[in-house]
């Protein structure tokens, strides 16, 4: 009789762990979708950042575009790649909802999430440095702030950084959630 009650208790514990892992997997899916939207919005906002000043000369046309600066190009590419990765990883996240005890795919997801986090961080950091220079300039090197003239361009590029840094935060949470779910398998 005693052995039966122990087995029944273990079954109840296994169902609880299974339910918690399923809840973590659902939250993982939601975070992936939100991060996908953040990276997509950041790439589109920066990729469409363009402003021409209302005055120009016959020789010089005053225009600011994202593709004039290599750091902004890298930012758009890195956000686009992470966006595609997040779209593809949604299928694995759905698989984890169905099979909450899957371990090897969670390890793969943790490794790939970490790689994409590094890629996203490097693109956002490079763009943030340029946006900082555009807003504040650097008087010791005679780089002047261009945001007084190109206000729309600067607002758009700074806004795209918000989505990217938000997606970085969500990627960190995704790695933590996957680690917690893996430890409970």
Q: What is the pLDDT of residue 5?
A: 47
Task: Indicate if the pLDDT at residue 109 is higher than 80.
Answer: yes
Single pTM value for the model: 0.80
**pLDDT tens string 149-185:** 777 878 888 889 999 999 999 999 999 998 888 887 6
Angle between helices 70-98 and 2-47 (to 10 degrees): 150
pLDDT band at 131 (very low <50, low <70, confident <90, very high): confident
**pLDDT tens string 33-74:** 999 999 999 999 888 866 655 655 666 666 667 777 888 899
Task: Indicate if the pLDDT at residue 4 is higher than 60.
Answer: no
Three-state SS for 147?
Answer: coil
Q: What is the pLDDT of residue 133?
A: 86
The string of DSSP codes covering 87-137 is HHHHHHHHHHHH-TT--HHHHHHHHHHHHHHHHHHHHHHHHHHHHHHHHH-
pLDDT band at 16 (very low <50, low <70, confident <90, very high): low
**pLDDT tens string 133-150:** 888 887 787 777 777 777
Q: How many residues does the chain have?
A: 185
């Amino acid at each position: 009789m005693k052995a039966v009650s122990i087995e029944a208790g273990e079954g109840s514990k296994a169902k609880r762990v299974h339910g918690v892992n399923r809840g973590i997997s659902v939250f993982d899916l939601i975070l992936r979708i939100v991060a996908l939207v953040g990276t997509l919005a950041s790439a589109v906002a920066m990729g469409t950042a363009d402003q021409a000043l209302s005055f120009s000369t016959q020789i010089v046309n005053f225009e600011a575009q994202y593709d004039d600066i290599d750091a902004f190009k890298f930012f758009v590419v890195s956000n686009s790649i992470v966006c595609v990765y997040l779209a593809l990883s949604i299928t694995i996240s759905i698989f984890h909802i169905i099979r909450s005890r899957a371990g090897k795919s969670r390890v793969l997801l943790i490794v790939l999430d970490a790689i994409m986090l590094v890629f996203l961080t490097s693109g956002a950091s490079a763009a943030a440095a340029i946006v900082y220079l555009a807003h504040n300039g650097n008087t010791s090197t005679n780089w002047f702030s261009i945001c007084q003239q190109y206000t729309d361009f600067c607002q758009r590029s700074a806004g795209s950084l918000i989505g990217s840094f938000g997606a970085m935060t969500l990627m960190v949470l995704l790695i933590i959630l996957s680690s917690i779910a893996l430890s409970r398998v």
